[in-house]
């Protein structure tokens, strides 16, 4: 038995480590080859946005799906990333890469802070407090308009750099690979986390809190760990978003972005991590494909979300699994 086997218990019915690792590498290698197919900067822009959404949505899946903590302030952590990066890189003149990292750290600290009031709470009350936290952050940013630009936001935020590479005239190639690297790092971290003992204990807390506590799982510590773990890459994604868009705006706290990302989490199927990533692809591409429909676009998207939630409560991953079982049974019957 290697150290890895001891540290990470395997469970029956789960995909083995080797299989998942192969799927992971193949999947992301395919993504890395996408710029060969999509040469124009518009498609690459869509892909970059997909990667950012995927990071935010899959990290949300950690607290919402695995942890069962209805954290509706997740987008505030993203927004904190956006503003911390913008303030550090623009106002304080700190190196963009250091600012990027610092945004993740500060988002994590904010997540720890918001965990304190919700330690005693359950279910719907957590939704309301975290929702309140998000509004609080937004109001503070709006009221400090000397620094943050208030409702106007900040413009001319410094972008990222890579040695002497020209980030603007490469058809967004460099930003594409930075975004992809971010998604790879975040997904690797999330999958390792949820397959670890800590991951098992937060699922135990979600499924049977009393029993988990009686078996020695600390609710306070694990809830903090869950939210902090889901915050780091969310904050970095926010910082990257600001660096890529070259501006910071109060819109990141709005309901429309939260609704889109939340539907990615639920549409993909909670407690999968991969589901959220797949759903961000599907929803974003779908939404871009319908650009001609104008006012009908949000309505069709909303209708799609409702239909999928009604027909496949386990989301896209559940849909794929159901299809796979069907195919596998056909093959078995043939043999």
Partner 1 sequence: MSVFSDIFFGGLFQGSLYAMMAVGLALVWTTIGVFNFSHGVFMMLGAYFAWQLVAFGLPVVIAFPLAVIVMAGAGWILQASVVRPLIGRPNIVLVVVITTLAAGSLIENGALTVWGPRSKQLPSLIEGNTTIAGVGVSLHQIAIIVITPLILAALWSFLNRTRLGLALRAVAQNEDASQLVGLNVTALYGLAFAIAASLAGLAGIFMGGYRFMNPSMGADPLLKALIVVVFGGISSISGPIFAAYLIGFFEAASNYYFGLYWTPALLFLVLIATLMVRPEGIFASRSRGLA
Footprint of partner 1 (CB under 8 A): 64, 70, 117, 120-125, 127-129, 131-133, 135-136, 139-140, 142-143, 255-256, 259, 262-263, 266, 270, 295-296, 298-299, 301-303, 305-306, 309-310, 313
What is the b/e burial string over 81-111, where b = at least 16 CB atoms within 10 angstroms of the residue's CB? bbbbbbbbbbeeebebeebbbbbbebbbebb
Two tokens, residue 268: 């993909």
Q: Which is nearer to partner 1, 127 or 167 (CB)?
A: 127
* Nearest to partner 1 of 105, 121 (CB atom): 121
By C-beta, is 40 or 292 nearer to partner 1? 292
**CA geometry: angle 49, 50, 53, nearest 5 deg:** 85
Distance of alpha carbon 37 from alpha carbon 55, whole angstroms: 23
Residue number, 76 or 89, with CB nearest to partner 1: 76
CB 277 within 8 A of CB 58: yes
**Phi, psi values for residue 254, rounded to 5°:** -70, 165
Nearer of residues 105 and 109 to partner 1, judged by Cβ: 109
Give the residue with the Cβ less far from partner 1, 128 or 282: 128
Give 67-91 as a DSSP string: S----TTHHHHHHHHHHHHHIIIII
CA distance 123 to 182: 31
Q: What distances in angstroms separate CA 299 from CA 137, 283, 293, one per listed residue?
A: 30, 13, 10
Give the count of beta carbons closer than 10 Å to the beta carbon of residue 184.
18
Question: Could you write out the DSSP letters of every residue in 157-197?
Answer: ------TT--SSSSTTHHHHHHHHHHHHHHHHHHHHHHHSH
Q: How far is the CB of 136 from partner 1 (least distance, A)?
A: 5
Other beta carbons within 10 Å of 38: 15
Beta-carbon-side half-sphere exposure of residue 112 (alpha carbons within 13 Å)? 10
Q: How far is the CB of 63 from partner 1 (least distance, A)?
A: 12
Q: Rank residues 109 and 142 by Cβ distance to partner 1 and give the closer one.
A: 142
């Amino acid at each position: 038995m290697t150290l890895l086997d001891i540290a990470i218990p395997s469970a029956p019915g789960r995909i083995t480590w080797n299989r998942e690792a192969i799927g992971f590498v193949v999947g992301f290698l395919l993504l890395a080859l996408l710029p060969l197919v999509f040469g124009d900067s518009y498609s690459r822009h869509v892909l970059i946005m997909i990667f950012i959404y995927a990071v935010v949505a899959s990290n949300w899946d950690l607290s919402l799906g695995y942890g069962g903590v209805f954290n509706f302030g997740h987008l505030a952590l993203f927004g904190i990333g956006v503003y911390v990066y913008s303030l550090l890189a623009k106002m304080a003149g700190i190196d963009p890469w250091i600012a990027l990292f610092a945004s993740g750290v500060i988002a994590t600290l904010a997540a720890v802070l918001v965990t304190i009031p919700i330690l005693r709470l359950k279910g719907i009350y957590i939704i309301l407090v975290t929702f309140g936290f998000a509004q609080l952050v937004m109001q503070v940013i709006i009221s400090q308009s000397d620094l943050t630009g208030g409702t106007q936001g900040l413009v001319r935020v410094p972008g990222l750099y890579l040695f002497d590479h020209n980030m603007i005239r490469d058809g967004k190639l460099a930003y594409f690979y930075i975004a992809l690297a971010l998604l790879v790092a975040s997904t690797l971290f999330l999958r390792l986390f949820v397959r670890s003992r800590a991951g098992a204990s937060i699922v135990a807390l979600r499924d049977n809190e009393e029993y988990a506590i009686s078996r020695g799982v600390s609710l306070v510590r694990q809830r903090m760990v869950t939210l902090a773990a889901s915050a780091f890459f969310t904050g970095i994604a926010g910082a990257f978003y600001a660096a890529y868009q070259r501006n910071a705006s109060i819109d990141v706290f709005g309901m429309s972005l939260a609704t889109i990302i939340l539907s990615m989490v639920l549409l993909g199927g909670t407690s999968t991590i991969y589901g959220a990533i797949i759903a961000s692809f599907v929803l974003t591409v779908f939404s871009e494909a319908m650009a001609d429909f104008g006012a009908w676009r949000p309505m069709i998207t909303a209708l799609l979300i409702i239909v999928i939630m009604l027909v496949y409560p386990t989301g896209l991953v559940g849909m794929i699994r159901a299809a796979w079982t069907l195919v596998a049974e056909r093959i078995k019957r043939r043999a």
